[in-house]
Amino acid sequence: MSDSEKYFPAREAEFVEKHFKNGFGLCSDIRNRWQGLRVGAQGSTLRDDFKEFITPLEHYEDYAKKSYFTEAILKHSDQEAVRKYDEIVNKFNADLPRIIRENDGQAIQNFLKTAEELISSPEAIK
């Protein structure tokens, strides 16, 4: 249990209410990990100044471990949604060298759409 979870149970409850309120199986805060990609992908190409800063994305559990509310995130997350999320991350990370080499902003847009659908829709889990 993290220090925040021990000393701030009300904050943990507030965090869970805010980020799991829709019952979609993933902490809604995870979408912030994708926002930098949205900025760097301009339609079908990548911004030139973006290419050197783009890095692989982390898996869901690694994201959760960086939170003050690690245990709450993992407890309230749907394991099938986590598996699908990590699958998207694996595909993105595997394709990243090609995306950068070929300046393929459209591929990033496609990954963004797929991730957002999973994060925002209970139907995507089924």
51, 45 Cβ separation under 8 angstroms: no
The domains of the chain are located at 3-124
pLDDT for position 59: 97
Give the pLDDT score at 8. 58
Residue 18 confidence (pLDDT) above 90? no
- Taking 3-state DSSP, the helix, strand and coil percentages for the chain, each rounded to the nearest 5, stand at 70, 5, 25
**Model's pTM, two decimal places?**
0.84
Structure confidence by residue, pLDDT tens digits, 30-69: 888 888 888 888 788 888 888 888 899 999 999 999 887 8
pLDDT surpasses 90 at 119: no
